[in-house]
Amino acid sequence: MSLSGKTALVIGAGGLGGPALLTLAAAGVGKLLLVEDDAVETSNLNRQPLFKEADLGQRKASAAAARLRALFPSIAVDARDLRFDADNALALVGAADVVVDGSDNFATKFLANDAALRAHKPLVHGGILRTTAQLLTVAPAGIGGCLRCLFEEPPPIGAVPSCAEAGVLGATAGFAGALMGAEALRLLAGERGAYEGRLFTYEARSARGRLVLVRRRPGCAACAGTQPLEPSEPVACAAPDRSEGAA
């Protein structure tokens, strides 16, 4: 099936979700299902390309949908002004061919991880902090492990600063979001993801990137009972205990 027959679920329409949505729409993905429960604030505008000053105070879901429809009239946009939560996660994920996690909090990221694995849908995670971007693709029965293999549980609230607290370089978000969109396109086209079971970290100040295998963690509650594929090429490994991997 061509991209025009595919549906992408994008969680969050902000710094990561916005560039991902633009990438998916520009490539001709037929339907974009986006979930976002925030309003546009001044502090968003440095990194959230779907919004303009005239949108301040508007709901992000409706502003993002209006922008996407204006730019790409042939794309179907289903924008939901709601939070991705335990009550709606499986239904939303089940309606999509690929899931792009552009959320800004760990609880949502872990929920997206668990729901996508349960529904057997591929998922592209992304995260940014200051000048660092991270990507990880979780493919059911694919290579390597999932977010829960890597971190097991979300960190306690407040243990990791949010973007609002720590700040984020707008260009880092644009870069990471565009890579997430490109990765979702690969998956929709039936190819293996570039970050499938591999954590990609890019540090913008040093221009250093790193790609490490995320091992399947025995007893992982999210991907238990599935067999990982062996990667076809040797890659450095990230141990499940968050320690740095050796090449």
**Interface residues with Zn ion (CB under 5 A)?**
145-146, 148-149, 220, 222-223
Q: How far is the CB of 122 from Zn ion (least distance, A)?
A: 14
Q: How far is the CB of 228 from Zn ion (least distance, A)?
A: 9
Q: How far is the CB of 116 from Zn ion (least distance, A)?
A: 11
Q: How far is the CB of 130 from Zn ion (least distance, A)?
A: 27
Residue type, 58: Q
How many beta carbons lie within 10 A of that of residue 191, not counting itself? Answer: 11
Burial of 90 (0-12, 13-18, 19+ CB in 10 A): middle
Question: Where are the alpha helices (H) located in 53-133, listed in sequence order?
Answer: 60-71, 89-94, 106-118
Q: How far is the CB of 239 from Zn ion (least distance, A)?
A: 13
188 or 220, CB closer to Zn ion?
220
Q: Residue 92 CA to chain centroid, in angstroms?
A: 15
DSSP string of 13-49? SSTTHHHHHHHHHHHT-SEEEEE---B--GGGTTT-T
107 or 166, CB closer to Zn ion?
107
168 or 220, CB closer to Zn ion?
220
143 or 222, CB closer to Zn ion?
222
127 or 145, CB closer to Zn ion?
145
Q: Residue 103 CA to chain centroid, in angstroms?
A: 7
31 or 148, CB closer to Zn ion?
148
Q: Which residues contact 154 (CB under 8 A, 6 or more apart)?
A: 106, 107, 109, 110
Tokens representing residue 176 in the block: 């990471």
Q: How far is the CB of 95 from Zn ion (least distance, A)?
A: 23
CA 67 – CA 212 distance, rounded (Å): 36
